[in-house]
Amino acid sequence: MTKSDSKNYQRKKTRQIQVGKVLVGGGAPISVQSMTITKTADVEGTLQQIYALAAAGCDIVRCTCNDAAAAEGLAKIVPRSPVPIIADIHHQYRMALAALEAGVHGLRLNPGNIRKPEHIKAVASEARDRGVSIRIGVNGGSLDSDLYEKHGGLTALAMVESAQQELRYFEEVDFNLVKISVKASNVVLMVDAYRMLSEITDFPLHLGVTEAGPLPGGLVKATAGIATLLLEGIGDTIRYSLTADPIEEARAGRLLLESLGLRERKNVDLIACPSCGRAEVDVIDIAQRAQQAFADKKLPLQIAVMGCVVNGPGEAREADLGIAAGNKRGHLFVKGRNVAVVPESEMVEALVEWATFIHEHGTDAALKRVDTTIAEREAAKDRNAALAEQGDDANHDQERIVEIRRTVAEK
């Protein structure tokens, strides 16, 4: 999505709630969430993971609150956390009350396993008095058995009805600090459920494909569901549910939003050609080394790694900075203009050095930094040499054109 496209992006207008200092819905930036996998009672270990998630781009972190030790741990974690903390509650409504006492910024309740109306309303009443939001977290894997039977199995309508039922309990105690999710591991089912829910409510929606699985399949499934809905204007906060280090969830969520133009870029957007027979270097290796080199640097630039100088600078002319291989050396270009030639062994280091300079001084200063005439002349020399290796008509296109015309004429 280009910058102009992102300006035309239309999100469905939803209510706005607050999770700690993070606004959700009502036009606020779409937030990224993840969940710790530590024991919440392990305060230091959990905080270490929360800080790592925040550094990876996570805006809100969820921690399980499944016993008294976890609730006590939350009381120590919340004041030291760099981001809002949500308590994940299953089965025991008293754990929700304990988490509220611990000072959490939000709760996640699963309607499928906290089913007594009086328990649900007790939690909602306490959250109302404290000004704490609740996510109604409908999950396809733990749908209320009554609804499962009523709808003949797991359906989009069954999940939406589960959320509506929970909302009615909340309304009875005048509680409306709500966001909703209707997650399923089946992507099509998940998309259908969110579309249906979006039509009937203006509460902010939390998007996710639950139990998406390990990489790379889980990443593909989660992206397919979440991105589809975001591009339709549906969704206010997201979580990738991957069988992986939660850091991968935060990175994936952040990258998706940046790729769609829905959040400002925090780090390098690395683009690279898929390589081909023209490539004079191992593009995959260079791209991977470049990705590692930029991993911890906060440089919000688009950087290209191209395998040859024939089409490289032209194909990546919109990139802030790029490099294309030619004749065992790398041709650096800024906004499509060749600026320097470096040895093949120094390509990644040169990218880092120039990227840092551009971030600090801008592209105009980078172009004035050197005599671009020399670099462009060297690039042209290598480009012509690459073309000469296969000849001007490597595909024998003139002969093919003659045959094409003859075939067309015969018909």
pLDDT of 233-292, one tens digit each? 999 999 999 999 999 999 999 999 999 999 998 889 998 888 777 666 788 888 999 999
Burial of 400 (0-12, 13-18, 19+ CB in 10 A): exposed
The set of residues, in sequence order, having a beta carbon less than 8 Å from that of 205 and lying 6+ positions away, is 14, 179, 180, 181, 194, 197, 198, 234, 235, 236, 237
Mean per-residue pLDDT, 103-109:
98
Distances (CA, A) of 403 to 368, 393, 400, 407, 411: 50, 16, 5, 6, 13
What is the identity of the amino acid at 352? V
Tell me the average pLDDT of the chain. Answer: 90
pTM (2 d.p.): 0.85
CA angle 265, 202, 117 (to 5 degrees): 115
Q: How many residues does the chain have?
A: 411
On whether the CB atoms of residues 253 and 225 are closer than 8 A, the answer is: no
Instruction: Round to the nearest angstrom and report the end-to-end CA distance of the chain.
Output: 43
In the chain, the percentage of residues whose pLDDT exceeds 70 is 90
Q: How far is 270 from 257, CA to CA, in rounded Å?
A: 15
Confidence band for 375, pLDDT divided at 50, 70 and 90: low
Q: What's the CA gap between 117 and 166, in Å, rounded?
A: 9
H or E element that contains 306? strand 302-306
Phi first, then psi: give them for residue 268, nearest 5 degrees.
-60, 135
pLDDT confidence tier of residue 77, bands split at 50, 70 and 90: very high
For the chain, domains (ranges, CATH) are: 3-259 (3.20.20.20), 269-390 (3.30.413.10)
Closest CA to 206 of 15, 30, 375: 30
